Amino acid sequence: MFFELARRNVRLHWLRSLLAILGIIIGVVTIVSMGILGNSLVLAISDSLSTVGDSIIVTPHVGGMGFGGGQSSNLLSDRDVEQIRRAAAPHVTIPVYSGSSRMKIGSEDTVGTIYGLKPDDIPILLEVEEGSYLRGASGAMVGATFAEENDIKVGSRISLDERGSVRVVGILKERGMGFDINPDFGIVVEDQWFSQAFAQEEYNQVIVKVEDLNEIEEVKDSIDRTMNRKETVVDVIDTRAILDTILTTFGQISTFTTVIGGISLIVAGVSILNIMLMSVTERIKEIGVIRSIGTQRKEVRRMFLYEALILGLIGSSIGGILSLIGGYAVSMVMLQTTEYLFVPSSLVYIVYGVGFGLGTSLVSGLYPAWKASNLNPIEALRHE
């Protein structure tokens, strides 16, 4: 019966109830959307970054000491590579040539990245999807995205202007963005072919594949000590650490934006507090009457809490539904996919949001309910 009375009171003041409900809806939708978006971003990034957690990347240090060194100071010499290989032994050390070039496939002109690797090293870093690994000198393997965008098949011919042309022997599996190399958007050729075509002796970077992740720090230190004894010649990067940092940062940003959403819910709670207090004040005499005819304090409290609960229930459920729709829309627009939406770690935000919406409403109703229940019946009867 108290619930029924609460329900009728909410209906009686439907406009201000509606406005309070609107506040809850906005609060819930904000929290849930921010949470889902943040979580989806973290998941999307985790997925698209290739899991090369077991690599150390050594790149030439681009220092501020003069531009006079020319190209040679931005690359790693054979000697450098040998030193690195010794420092990193027994782990696999892969020297990499990289560059970009205009490419012509059939009649299409495009630009792509090009990597030069020793044929033996290629299977260590990359997986072939179609065709085969490099065998001959003038072959090339094409990255998954590059192949799709330019309609390249095994057997196609890619011309790199005056540098020459290569025949595609294999299409690579999609790898995702990595910190070492990004073959998805380019091609891979034999190192000697690259060296000749680009007239480049020295390497752009060296990748070290560490088998046991626990040894990464050791190997990093070893390379650093060997190469950077007198001055910083190379930068040594450990991809796992970067990945962790990125994910953590995005996670923190996501939490931050969700908290901002929470603030809007607090505002909604204040509006519920406000209208509940108004409700109590308007019904002081009525409260006096029901108290005099035998209603307990706790029953009066319950009646008003039900009112706040009704507002919260309606607002939170509508908010929950809307945020699912909103999350869907935002995912489609920002990530072009909803695969990160319907996973538990994202959907749980709906539970959080609805829960917080309900909780906020109840908490906001606590003081007004208490105030109503503690009114002196005699004075209340005399009111108005």
Q: What is the DSSP letter of 173?
A: P
Q: By the 8 A CB rule, do 2 and 302 touch? A: yes
Beta carbon of residue 262, minimum distance to another protein (angstroms, whole number): 35
Interface with another protein: number of residues (CB under 8 A) = 20
Pick from 3, 12, 47, 218 the residue near another protein by CB under 8 A.
12
Long-range CB contacts (within 8 A, 24+) of 144-147: 144/171, 144/172, 144/173, 144/174, 144/175, 144/184, 145/174, 145/184, 145/185, 146/112, 146/184, 146/185, 146/186, 146/187, 147/171, 147/172
Binding mask 244-283 for another protein (x = CB under 8 A): ----------------------------------------
Output 121 or 286, the one with its CB closest to another protein: 286
> What is the sign of the dihedral through the CA atoms of 159, 160, 165 and 171?
negative
User: Which positions from 280 to 299 touch another protein by CB under 8 A, shown as an x/- string?
Assistant: -----xx--xxxxxxxxx-x
The contact pattern for another protein, residues 25-64, with x = CB under 8 A and - = no contact, is: ----------------------------------------
Q: Which of residues 137-196 bind another protein (CB under 8 A)?
A: none
**Encoded tokens for 377:** 């019946």
Tell me: does residue 383 bind another protein (CB under 8 A).
no
Q: Which of residues 94-123 bind another protein (CB under 8 A)?
A: none
Q: Which stretch binds another protein (CB under 8 A): 6-14, 232-240, 269-277, 332-340?
A: 6-14
Least distance in angstroms from the C-beta of 278 to another protein:
16
Q: Considering only 3-11, 85-93, 152-160, 166-174, which stretch makes contact with another protein by CB under 8 A?
A: 3-11
Which residue, 144, 134, 135, 140, is CA-closest to 172? Answer: 144
> Residue 166: which H helix or E strand, with range?
strand 165-172
Q: Cα(30)–Cα(257) distance, rounded to whole angstroms?
A: 9
Minimum Å gap between C-beta 9 and another protein is 7
Q: How far is the CB of 12 from another protein (least distance, A)?
A: 7
- Considering the rule CB under 8 A, would residue 9 count as an interface residue with another protein? yes
CA distance 185 to 175: 10
**5 belongs to the binding site for another protein (CB under 8 A):** yes
Nearest to 220 by CA among 240, 249, 243, 200: 240
Burial degree of 369 (CB within 10 A; 0-12, 13-18, 19+): buried
Ordered DSSP codes for 60-91: E---SS-STTGGGGGSB-HHHHHHHHHHHTTS
In whole angstroms, how close is the CB of 285 to another protein at the nearest point? 7
Q: Which is nearer to another protein, 11 or 157 (CB)?
A: 11
Min. distance of Cβ 292 from another protein in angstroms? 5
Write down the least CB distance from residue 286 to another protein, Å: 7
- Interaxial angle between packed helices 239-282 and 297-335, expressed in degrees from 0 to 180 and rounded to the nearest 10: 140
Interface residues toward another protein, by CB under 8 A: 1, 5, 8-9, 12, 285-286, 289-297, 299, 377-378, 381
